[in-house]
Structure 1
Amino acid sequence: MVLSLVSLCAREVVRDHSSSQCWLRWVPRELYRPLLEASFTGCRPLAVGELVQRWPERTLRVGRSRTQGQKGPNRLCVQALLLAVVRGMSDQRCALQVLDLCGLQGDEGGMGDPMGGWSLTVALCTMVVQSRARAQRAQRERKRLSALEREKDVKRERGQWKRGRETDGDVAGPDNEEPEGNDREKMGSCGTLGDEELITGVRRRMEVERRRETAGTGSGGGRKETEDVNSDVLVHVRADLFVNARSWERVRGALSASGPLKLQCRYLRVEEISVSSIRTMLGLLPRQGLLGIDVRYSSLGVAGLAEMLPLLSTFPALNSLRLHYCNLDFRRDQPGQEEALGDLSQGLTRLQELRCLSLTALRLPGQLRVLLSSLPRPLEILELPYLSLSPADLAYLSCSHHASTLQQLDLSENRLDENTLTSIRRLLSQASGGLQHLSLSGCGLTDGLLGLLLPSLGGCRALKSLALALNPLSIAGLMELVRMAVRMPSLRQLLYPNPLEDYQPGLPDLPSSAQLLDWPLDEATDINITSSQLNRVRIESGRSDLFLTCDLLNYDKDLMD
């Protein structure tokens, strides 16, 4: 990546923090963005804090793009940013009204100490709660100073009254009685009491504040003083939230709190949380802005999901639903399962904007038609790994209204054989115009099955990434695969399996994906030889833009998007 002259200069400027007082007062608003980016890149948390506290624009976006392959910002820089946002609310130089942190989180514990999704969520919620407490303290201090000022005004008013009586004692008569009627009017007209307008102003302020307190408590009373603090939101914070059992209470407190910071969620990821807690969380989120929800390792069940779907339908922009290992087990022999599945189908019909559906390890064999036919609009992303799809499921999918609109399809760990090959080829033919990412890892594809499937794969002219890991292929089968891949101009990544020849002896003739994953590779075999053979075919074809890898753990289909 070639850096611009502005970026290079910004890195030099933020490198020396001792000089920040010199250049901060003169820097134009157009340079705040490159200076902040340089501060993040160079891990300069003090510079990040000073820039954000004086941020001159209404919006600040700090989210990173995963497609650039960059690591997330340093944890200290993110913490400095959050602290500066709170300080900036009382800084007249700060114009910040919207803080967008969507996509900011990195991989927890990765290189460079980035802040992961869970840590960022906890830090954000802490910032929201602390800003509210800070605003409450400021309001109490203002009320205390106001009360002192009122007390001074009242004392000054009383002192003026006493001085007036002492000075004009002859007007009151021999017994120093208070003048009546016209005499009192004369005393006021000659200015004996003095500052009559000041007294009227003090009384007017006291009456206005008394009315405000009465309006705050209402006729029914019972509203606490702390709940009408900072009803006006100063900064809206948008982020992707990651909630589990440990952070649940803190996130709920932040979403329930009213204060100068308002937390909004774009994508919500929850793990190991009950259905009732998920319902509570959805009830606290603002209706606008939520684009997706990802539920993992939660025992929803078919009935629990059917209960949750009506709440999801209240979010008009929701377009992504991901359910991973949520214990959705459909068994006809259990009572109430047919009704629950019907409720589930009915709930899916309400998700009008759904474009992405991801279901992992859900035991619903033969029910794909019930689920997908309920959706009102065609899907663009469909992920169905570990679903034990039946031939009837694949036959329906190949003829459904979703097939022609799919851009991303994941059928990993669903066993494919001669009975399903016709459906898969029809599905690829229907999706050939727009399919960009395809995963058939762990599907039991042998050299013979892959050879029959290669023409259909080659016809996917928009395909950018293809994953075929953990399939029992030989070196000869891999060579045919790569020869097909180099003829696909749009293809940028190919994840291929280790050939059977690279494994230690004893592997079954048709090993499963689990056996291929656990079986040790033969130390006497150099896996670089296979890689060199495949890359030779790629280089001879002039496809330097095609990336070949067998590294399943570090494969990322979005890396070169």
Structure 2
Amino acid sequence: MVLSLVSLCAREVVSDHSSSPCWLRWVPRELYRPLLEASFTSSRPLAVGELVQRWPERILRVGGRRKRGQKSPNRLCIQALLLAVVRGLSDQGCALQALDLSGLQGDEGGMGDPMGGWSLTVALCTMVVQARAGAQRAQRREGERDRKRISALEREKDVKRERGDRKRGKEPNGEEANTDNRELVVSDRERMQSSGVLSEEELIKGVRRRMEVERKRGSIVMGVAGSRKDSEEKDVDSDVLVHVRADLFVNARSWERVRAALTTAGPLKLQCRYLRVEEISVSSIKSLLELLPQQGLLGIDIRYSSLGVAGLAELLPMISTFPALNSLRLHYCNLDFRRDHPGQEEALRDLSQGLTQLQQLQRLSLTALRLPGQLRVILSSLPQPLEILELPYLSLSPADLAYLSGSHHASTLQQLDLSENRLDEITLPSIRRLLSQASSSLQHLTLSGCGLTDGLLGLLLPSLGMCSSLKSLAFALNPLSMAGLLDLLRTAVRMPSLRHLLYPNPLEDYQPGLPVLPSSAQLLDWPLDEATDLNTTSSQLNKVLLDSGRSDLFLTCDLLNYDKDLLD
């Protein structure tokens, strides 16, 4: 990555924190962004804090999709950013009104000490609560100043009243006494003005304004977001100084902190773009959804929660109330459908009815859900064709794949994940038909761990080669020989849009003893043969690339670090 001259200069400027008082007051607003990026890149939390506290624009976006090789921001830099946002609430030089941290979180424990999704959520919620506490302290201080002003005004009234009484009384030298009284009144008035005490009219206006603010805040009823009236929401928003948008990660340990932040009215208001919940009950998920603002939620990701078919059917009507929701992901949620259990047929009908209400859904991810033969019930209920469909570890039946290949979703799919669904001669015609239907739209395809042998691959390659828009192809953990792998690569180099191929280690690279048709789990755990020169495989693949002139096609067998999202 080639850095611009501005970026290089920005890194040099933020490298010495002792010089920040010299340049910070004179830096133009156009340079705040490159300076902040340089501070994140160089892990300079003090510079991050000073820049954010004086942020000159209404909107600050930090995060988003990272480029290949770009690291997540350092944990200390993120903490400095959050603290600076709170300090900036009382800084006259800060114009910040909207903070967007969507996509900021990194992988917990990754290189460079990034802040993961759970840690970031807890830090954000703590920031919201602290900002509210700070606003309350400032409110109490302002109230104390008002009381002092009222006391000073009352003392001034008493002094005027006493002087008026003396003026109306009998004095031996009335004219001189009146003159002295006028001079004393003028002297007192000047003294009151010099001490900072407001005039009576100005003070009364200030007190009335303060009472109106207190009356407005007292009328706000804290409760469930879904039950708030529109007028109450407007009152709450009128007190908000900065709207904070982020992705939230909620589990049993962070649930109370998140609820406190979402029910706290103060200068910071937390909004959620993508919600991820893990290992919490259906009732807790419902309570959380009730607290979230209706606008702005794009996706819900539920993991390791024992929902069941009935629990998911119970959640769907509430999920459908979010108008912008376009992504629903369910991973290991124990959706076990068994016809012999009482009430299962009725729960499945409720599930189907709930799915019909997801009007904007574009992405559906179902991982390890035991719903054999029920794919038609789920997908046919969706009113709009999907663009992203992920069905790993679903044990899809031939009927499921046959329905999918002829459904209204097939021609619009941009991303398809069928990994760990075993394919054979019976299901292969459905897969070929599916690829034919999606040939012009499909950009990312994952067929890892599908049990594709050399023979099955040979039948699939003609249909695969028709996918003219395909950018990434994942084929890991399939039992291919070196000959089959070379056939796969020869097809891949003829696909002009393909940029990333995740290929499996050929069977020749494994130690002896591997079964004739090994499963994906066996291929994952079986050791590679140290006596085999692994560079031989790479050299043969690179020779095919070189002969085809495809230097833009990236090959890898690293399953753990494969990330197709870095392509866009």
* TM-score normalised to structure 2 length: 0.90
**What is residue 531 of structure 1 aligned with on the other side?**
538
Counting only pairs closer than 5 Å after superposition, residues 245-260 of structure 1 correspond to structure 2 as: 245-260=252-267
C-alpha spacing 1:202/1:388, structure 2 compared with 1 (3 Å):
closer
Supply the distance in 2 between the matched residues of 1:24 and 1:429 (Cα, whole angstroms). Answer: 59
Letter in 2 for 1:333: D
* Equivalent in the alignment of 1:135: 135
Where do residues 130-529 of structure 1 align in structure 2 (5 Å cutoff)? 130-170=130-170, 232-529=239-536
1-structure distance, mates of 2:215, 2:24: 46
Instruction: From the superposition, tell whether residues 67 and 409 of structure 1 become closer, same or farther in structure 2 (CA, over 3 Å).
Output: farther
Instruction: Specify the code of the residue in structure 2 equivalent to 1:532.
Output: S
Gaps of 5+ in 2: 172-181, 190-197, 222-232
Matched with 2:74 is 74
Compute the displacement of 1:198 (Å): 5.4
Separation in 2 of the partners of 1:158 and 1:202?
Answer: 17
Quick one: distance in 2 between partners of 1:441 and 1:414?
9
2:230 maps to what in 1?
Answer: none
Change (3 A) 1:305 1:218: closer
Counterpart amino acid of residue 368 in structure 1: L
Alpha-carbon shift at residue 298 of structure 1 (Å) = 0.5
Determine if the alignment matches structure 1 residue 7 to structure 2 residue 7: yes
- Which residue does 1:29 correspond to in 2? 29
Contact 1:404 1:430 in 2 (8 A): yes
Q: Quickly say closer, same or farther: Cα 1:386–1:143, change in 2 above 3 A.
A: same
CA distance in 2, matches of 1:555, 1:475: 21
Deviation at 1:450, TM superposition (A): 0.4
Q: Distance in 2 between matches of 1:238 and 1:164?
A: 61
State the shift of 1:201 in Å.
6.2
- Relative to structure 1, the CA distance from residue 301 to residue 157 in structure 2 (aligned partners, 3 Å threshold; closer, same or farther) is same
Superposition deviation, residue 532 in structure 1: 1.5
Superposition deviation, residue 6 in structure 1: 1.1
Residue type of the alignment partner of 2:113: D
What residue in structure 1 maps to residue 194 of structure 2? none
The separation in 1 between residues aligned to 2:486 and 2:211, in whole angstroms, is 85
Deviation at 1:148, TM superposition (A): 1.2
Indicate the larger mover: 64-73 or 378-387: 64-73
Report Cα offsets for 1:65-88 as digits up to 9, x if no partner. Answer: 234341111111111111111111
Structure 2 counterpart SS, 1:170: coil
Report the counterpart of residue 183 of structure 1 in structure 2.
none
Q: Distance in 2 between matches of 1:43 and 1:152?
A: 52
Equivalent residue for 1:124?
A: 124
Retained in 2: the 8 A contact 1:482–1:534?
yes
Say yes or no: does 1:93 pair with 2:93: yes
Q: Quickly say closer, same or farther: Cα 1:491–1:213, change in 2 above 3 A.
A: closer
Contact 1:233 1:259 in 2 (8 A): yes
Secondary structure of the 1:522 match is: coil
Deviation by residue 1:274-326 (Cα, 9 ceiling, x = unmatched): 11111111111111110001111011111110011111111110000000000
Instruction: Give the structure 2 partner of residue 45 of structure 1.
Output: 45
SS of the counterpart of 1:559?
Answer: helix
CA contact (8 A) 1:410 1:440 kept: yes
**Following the alignment from structure 1 to structure 2, what is the Cα–Cα distance between the partners of residues 88 and 145?**
23
Shift of 1:170: 3.3
Whether the 8 Å CA contact 1:321–1:358 is kept in 2: the answer is yes
SS at match of 2:366: strand
Q: What's the CA shift string for 1:68-117, capped at 9, x where partnerless?
A: 34111111111111111111111111110010111111111111111111
Question: What amino acid does structure 1 have at the position aligned with 2:90?
Answer: S
Counterpart position of 1:182 = none
How big is the shift at 1:167?
3.2
Give the secondary-structure state (helix, strand or coil) at the position aligned to 2:564.
coil
Offset, 1:269: 0.7
- Matching residue's letter, 1:4: S
Q: Deviations over 1:41-86 (max 9, x none)?
A: 1111111111111111100111142343411111111111111111
Return the alpha-carbon distance in structure 2 between the equivalents of residues 487 and 139 of structure 1.
68
CA distance in structure 1 between the aligned counterparts of 2:440 and 2:237, rounded to whole angstroms: 53
Note closer, same or farther for the CA distance 1:124–1:212 as it changes in structure 2 (3 Å cut). Answer: closer
Q: Report the residue type matching 2:442 in the other structure.
A: L
Alpha-carbon distance between aligned partners in 1 of 2:11 and 2:525, rounded to the nearest angstrom: 47
Q: Which moved more, 1:211-220 or 1:353-362?
A: 211-220
Task: Find the aligned partners of 1:218 and 1:191 in 2 and give their Cα distance.
Answer: 48
When structure 1 is superposed on structure 2, of 210-219 and 76-85 the one drifting more is 210-219
SS at match of 2:555: strand
The aligned amino acid for 1:19 is: S
**Aligned partner letter, 2:244:** V
User: 1:208: Cα distance to partner?
Assistant: 6.5
The question of whether the paired residues in 2 share the 8 Å contact of 1:464 and 1:491 is answered with yes
1:251–1:392 distance in 2 versus 1, CA, 3 Å: same
Say if 2:73 and 2:114, in contact at 8 Å, map to a contact too. yes
Contact preservation (8 Å) 2:469, 2:497: yes
Structure 1 residues 559 and 153, CA gap change in structure 2 (3 angstroms): same
Conserved? CA contact 2:392–2:417, under 8 Å: yes
Which digits, 9 at most, give the CA deviation of each residue in 1:208-230, with x for residues without a partner?
6667666665699xxxxxx9999
2: CA distance, partners of 1:219 / 1:271: 32
Q: In structure 2, what is the Cα distance between the partners aligned to 1:20 and 1:392?
A: 66
Quote the offset at 1:527 in angstroms: 2.0
Q: Tell me which moved more, 492-501 or 263-272.
A: 492-501
| Residue of structure 2 equivalent to 1:17 | 17
Equivalent residue, structure 2, for 1:177: none
Specify the code of the residue in structure 1 equivalent to 2:158.
Answer: R
Unaligned runs of at least 5 residues, structure 1:
172-189, 221-226
SS of residue paired to 1:382: strand
Q: Alignment RMSD, CA only?
A: 2.4
Q: 1:358 to 1:219 in 2, by over 3 A?
A: closer
Relative to structure 1, the CA distance from residue 326 to residue 213 in structure 2 (aligned partners, 3 Å threshold; closer, same or farther) is closer
| TM-score (normalizing by structure 1) | 0.92
